[in-house]
Amino acid sequence: MKAQVLHRPGEPEQFSYQDWPQPQPGPGEVLVRQHATSVNPADCKIRRNGSALAPGLPAVLGADVAGEVVALGPGVGAFALGDQVFGCAGGVRGMPGSYAEFIAADVRLLARRPHSLSLRQAAALPLAGITAYEGLVDRARVRAGQRVLVYGATGGVGHLAVQIAKARGAHVTAVVSTPEKAALARSLGADEVVLYRAEGLDGYVERLTDGLGFDLVFDAVGGDNLNLAIQAARPQGQVVTLVARQSYDLGAAFAKGLSIHILFMLIPMLHDLERARHGEILRELARLADEGLLAPLLDCATFALADLPAAHRRLESGAALGKVVVDIALAEPVQATVQV
């Protein structure tokens, strides 16, 4: 098969588009013929720096899977040949990734494609959607009537967080940078929009919460923005953050009695810990999509697997609006098989 193989950490040009051994599904796995994948910030970080999270190089990276089941490993009964599936199932330590024509994927990390989404759309949903759902639902238990603030509301995770919070009945405020993104956030269901370059934190907290603060702040930006998220939360409120890999003074959070949830959705994959929960979340995301309550936003730029370095550069440039999707096509049909 063809794959993008990383031989050493570095810039996107370190990927090599080459022939690579086609995997075979082991017990509890299916072989998926890939139709599309997407690029996530975690993929870029692993490519740039390597790390304890990365597969041993040379390796195939990429987490998001969307395609057709063409072979069943021993003991698989949850899927059948020809099923169209999506999931987050590779690209980390011990798990070859999805930047390839085929991937052998743990069935616990997969679900059937939502009927309302194409495989290309489904490829944009797994990692980002699981992250947003885990933070809002599994951790923060968002509920109807709560005031939810989303930083990075039109980004890969943030735009899904807006929709999930809205689907659960929350009153959602989206924080964005431009009027164009404000219009997009409203189209996703945001009740209020903040243009942070035009209005400071004190202003929108006073305007939208009478100065008390938001019940739940979802921080899809991370870094120094966590400090703003803490300031924006009400006493005894909650903050969910994605990127908190630096030192923070949590005195303000302590003074408010906040609950802070730090998300790292790759843990089930890295440690083989409660992987089935990811499959459950994917099925819930599929239900929301089929009910018209959730749709991934795809960046306008298009890329083939051979163009993966350009797709990485697109995401890292900050110019992408929504998820960067990579299309994967095979020249030859595949013979479906069942292993016993």
pLDDT tens readout for residues 10-48:
999 999 999 999 999 999 999 999 999 999 999 999 999
Model confidence at 294: pLDDT above 60 = yes
**Res 92: pLDDT:** 94
* pLDDT more than 90, % of the chain: 87
- Which among 2, 8, 58, 63 is positioned nearest to 265, based on CA atoms? 63
> What is the Cα 74 distance to its own chain's centre?
29
Superfamily of domain 131-262: NAD(P)-binding Rossmann-like Domain (3.40.50.720)
Cα three-residue angle 103-98-242, rounded to 5 degrees? 135
The two counts, helices (H) then strands (E), for the chain are 11, 16
Q: Where are the domains of the chain?
A: 2-125+269-338, 131-262
**Res 52: pLDDT:** 78
Q: List CB contacts of 280: < 8 A, sequence separation 6 or more.
A: none
pLDDT bracket for residue 55 (50, 70, 90): confident
Model confidence at 320: pLDDT above 80 = yes
Mapping DSSP onto H, E and C, the string for 7-66 reads CCCCCHHHEEEEECCCCCCCCCEEEEEEEEEEECHHHHHHHHHCCCCCCCCCECCCCEEE
Model confidence at 334: pLDDT above 70 = no
**Res 338: pLDDT:** 53
Cβ-contact 171, 148 below 8 angstroms: yes
pLDDT, tens digit, 9 for 90 and up, residues 201-256: 999 999 999 999 999 999 999 888 999 999 999 999 999 998 766 778 888 889 99
Model confidence at 276: pLDDT above 70 = yes
Fold of 2-125+269-338: Quinone Oxidoreductase; Chain A, domain 1 (3.90.180)
Average pLDDT of every residue of the chain: 94
Mean pLDDT of 123-141: 98
* Residues forming beta bridges with residue 179, ordered by sequence position: none
Q: What is the DSSP string of 135-160?
A: IIIIIT---TT-EEEEETTTSTTHHH
**Res 331: pLDDT:** 46
* pLDDT more than 70, % of the chain: 96
> What is the Cα 83 distance to its own chain's centre?
22
Reported as type and span, the H/E element at residue 112 is strand 110-112
pLDDT, tens digit, 9 for 90 and up, residues 71-102: 999 999 999 999 999 999 999 999 999 999 99
